[in-house]
Structure 1
């Protein structure tokens, strides 16, 4: 049997069974009067509060959204089962119209089954458009924290200004998740996570100068038990729980949810094969679904999982959430910065042909004020060589030049009103103009890119004068750089998008306050980023006055 046919058999053969194995949530007007008592639950092995991993919501539309929780009495249990008995539990859920949880508008029951890590995914509908809601779960006497959620405006309405934040790269060992806490305190309407939600490494195999401040439990993640345990360790963090409870999330993965720099069915180091890589991929995908507020359309089927999707926020914005890992050709010439002829091969793709066609079709049919691409790796060209040779990262869109050109030309041909690319991965804040031809700096700007730094990966980082960064001199379309930790908070209105690059001065100790390092504006029908505010350097912080090309490359590519 050929590789293609064998894979097709695996995927289609498991599809029906996987979908059927997911317990369905039920809804009714009142809470279930037959909820199990504490004594009954104790006799079944549920003796302590199982809501140790918090709550979350996600993928909103104008009628509803997904509610999530996962039961775990012992989150760090090595078997990945969270200290839960090997039996299902009925979980009651309620949605409220008020923060005091007095006015129930929807309620029902869902089964938390051991086959799916005792996770619960409830797709709630029948809510009003552009509405604010609160929700929680209950098992017997145990009640979850309260979460806040929002529905999108009606498809024909713009609604009010949208407060949207995006984040990426949270290495638990490198620092505290302070930025998640500060993000929750900003009360956004929507949060995008653009990848590297968790890291696969075992303790102290990916370290920062001075040593890691926290430690992973368990070995490098390779099995379903490993991934479940690692997700639980991250989910048990109170700052991350606060961010999940603050607003609905749209999530996509990058590489560390599975294996550093993986590409389709190829592990990080193909010269050192992983015989179990496809089984590892299947386990990682299953655990990712179990731990994220995703709809049933994303239920994994063997080694495949449908993650790219469109989420519409009325007429104000359409979010095209991309998957640049599962379908990409393997990185050419290795993963790092190279002058690589494969980078310009027109046959190579970072999205795969089907996803590319889906995206281009979405551009052609869009009527949104803002078309936003939520994706993982740097989109604009970043050449680190001032000479004629192009030295670029083969793990980013620079390694797939033709793929980038087709998509950029696609939004130009479709006359997309405002194209904005949101990016994570590189552990630093960036802002840039997008070009169809980066070799002609005088050519038209056709879009904008905003890049979020890491939540914690890399440790504290350091402030710097963005004007002195050599990449900005070599690449005039790059407009801003900062190497502190944080997130990006945007306000999307009909006439502009405002992006505040938020930073915290430290993550290697908890409790830092956040502040805005810079603000950029994208005007309606005016492609490109415009600087509105840059905060002066703070002499009380560690300052890096100049960042060499070599240091930038090392910070982005340094891996165990």
Structure 2
């Protein structure tokens, strides 16, 4: 249909008006956009690497209600070889976090990534994908229990420093990435001097509380550097929610603090927002997953804390600590009904282990798996020591030393062994035996990794028949205080305990009860070398490093 001259002019005029208005709006939008302040105050991060994919993360600091963010991944630092890019929006619903699952990448490849918002560039991050097929060697760093007010993150800085000269493939964080406590609570006695007072100065209960806590931790320059340098594979423990969390509650959750399920949901959402982890499509509460580092090792990240754990058993919940009462508690710990992993996770783990075929099988999980069983006379003495006042501690410690001396002089004098910590796998005896049965049947060379205790441990694992099934390397904490703080003992006495404990505990090969640090695992097809790196202090920025090494060549014994 033809247009009349009048109609054509009218249409042209209308089009010009629309164009003019659009142009005005565009200019207005650009002017408004230029006024929006944008910052990447919490750095960048990457995590959950696969052979062809990796998560990249950032957070935008802005007053805008909605922000558009561009991202790029390249094979070079100058971004002349961009291999993936895109854009995404974020807002307050996501706490302005941005998390991209970048696909289509090449295996065993080093990449650079960055973000841009409102003409502002983020810092450049580095990451790498996992190998596919043959892999001669790899190195991972293992950390746990990073309490912001307890001290500086010197451990994170040391990992980055080592990576510059001896490359690391990934960092495993085994939980307690944050702590929920408020000012004046656990491990905050130096917080004011260190300028590390917990965010809002209150305990985390709500979504905003947990978000603010993550924001505070991610303001730390050493943690930012770690995330910008290496991909992280993380799992949660209890303090991401509350101390001694279990399936339906927590020691550090009281009735007046509201519904626990709502608190747990808020904490889980904040964890997913702020950590570079891949969300499970079935449920945001499912965090167990596995990673294959070529044909060298398979890594299984387990949830032993939130999804299925029964309420922990506690010696100090007993009205009396008689042998009879303690024996009853241990019988509960050995009940086949007690759950730590739960049926769904057990089925997943057994299926994945049956499918995977790498040389080594690593379990990344929270709590000590090795049996830390001590003579009953020593344990009774330790109960008294834990509860002793400062004035009575020397006498209580003397009683423990006497019990140890008597046992070592004549082990048959005390044939009854008591597990030290029922919050660990010692409190879930049958599920541990189930796990050992699976790995033995599948002929897996098992290396278990643990955190949680704030101290470093090395054990040779065995089943209820005494048959060797694997080894355990447990990392110390990044900052959280260990037994040296809980027991209130001097370094000389702690040193004596470190020497004696392996003589009392059959599976235990070595222990450090006094220093903060991390584990570096150097893995090849012949052996797994575990090096514990300990920093001399977390109360000052300057520190020295001490190390302790063990090696396993068969996944059963260490030397």
In structure 2, distance between residues paired with 1:172 and 1:270: 21
**Which residue, out of 493, 504, 513, partners 1:474?**
504
Q: Residue 109 of structure 1 corresponds to which residue in structure 2?
A: 87
How many equivalent pairs are there? 471
Structure-2 change in CA distance of 1:229 and 1:332 (3 Å): same
Q: Quick check: 2:34–2:118 contact (8 Å CA) kept in 1?
A: no
What's the TM-score, normalizing by structure 2? 0.79
Give CA deviations for 1:222-279 in whole Å, capped at 9, x if unaligned: 0000000000000110000111111111110000000100101222167856532111
Report which of the two structures shows the higher radius of gyration computed on alpha carbons. Answer: 2
State the secondary structure of the residue aligned to 2:373: coil
Q: Residue 453 of structure 2 corresponds to which residue in structure 1?
A: 426
In structure 2, distance between residues paired with 1:510 and 1:195: 24
In structure 2, distance between residues paired with 1:221 and 1:289: 16
- 1:234 and 2:217 equivalent? yes
State the secondary structure of the residue aligned to 1:527: coil
User: What runs of 5+ residues in structure 1 fail to find an aligned partner?
Assistant: 1-36, 74-83, 531-560
Q: By how many angstroms is 1:209 displaced?
A: 6.6
Shifted more, 384-393 versus 119-128: the winner is: 384-393
In structure 1, distance between residues paired with 2:161 and 2:213: 26
State the secondary structure of the residue aligned to 1:107: strand
Give CA deviations for 1:268-308 in whole Å, capped at 9, x if unaligned: 16785653211111100000000011224268x5xx51200
Q: By how many angstroms is 1:50 displaced?
A: 2.0
Q: Residue 112 of structure 2 corresponds to which residue in structure 1?
A: 134
Q: Quick check: 1:41–1:47 contact (8 Å CA) kept in 2?
A: no
**Which residue, out of 160, 163, 174, partners 1:184?**
160
**Which residue, out of 335, 339, 350, partners 1:345?**
335
**Which residue, out of 370, 376, 393, partners 2:366?**
376
Q: Quick check: 2:187–2:480 contact (8 Å CA) kept in 1?
A: no
What's the TM-score, normalizing by structure 1? 0.79
Structure-2 change in CA distance of 1:230 and 1:332 (3 Å): same
Q: By how many angstroms is 1:313 displaced?
A: 1.3
Q: Quick check: 1:267–1:274 contact (8 Å CA) kept in 2?
A: no
Q: By how many angstroms is 1:113 displaced?
A: 2.7
Equivalent residues in 2 for 1:125-524, closer than 5 Å? 125-154=103-132, 157-187=133-163, 188-207=168-187, 213=194, 214-218=196-200, 219-268=202-251, 274-297=257-280, 305-326=285-306, 327-333=308-314, 339=327, 340=329, 341-386=331-376, 387=414, 388-416=416-444, 418-437=445-464, 443-458=466-481, 465=495, 468-482=498-512, 483-515=514-546, 517-523=547-553
Shifted more, 392-401 versus 203-212: the winner is: 203-212
- Give RMSD over aligned pairs: 2.5
Q: Residue 391 of structure 2 corresponds to which residue in structure 1?
A: none
In structure 2, distance between residues paired with 1:298 and 1:185: 36
Q: Quick check: 1:89–1:111 contact (8 Å CA) kept in 2?
A: yes
User: What runs of 5+ residues in structure 2 fail to find an aligned partner?
Assistant: 1-25, 319-325, 377-413, 486-490
Give CA deviations for 1:408-448 in whole Å, capped at 9, x if unaligned: 111001111x11101000111111111112xx6xx332101
State the secondary structure of the residue aligned to 1:108: strand
Shifted more, 458-467 versus 355-364: the winner is: 458-467
Q: Quick check: 1:99–1:134 contact (8 Å CA) kept in 2?
A: yes
Give CA deviations for 1:36-89 in whole Å, capped at 9, x if unaligned: x9995883597444211111111111112111111125xxxxxxxxxx43x221
State the secondary structure of the residue aligned to 2:349: helix
State the secondary structure of the residue aligned to 1:181: helix
In structure 1, distance between residues paired with 2:76 and 2:113: 9
Structure-2 change in CA distance of 1:526 and 1:425 (3 Å): closer
Structure-2 change in CA distance of 1:476 and 1:275 (3 Å): same
In structure 2, distance between residues paired with 1:501 and 1:466: 20
Structure-2 change in CA distance of 1:521 and 1:336 (3 Å): farther
Q: Quick check: 2:471–2:555 contact (8 Å CA) kept in 1?
A: no
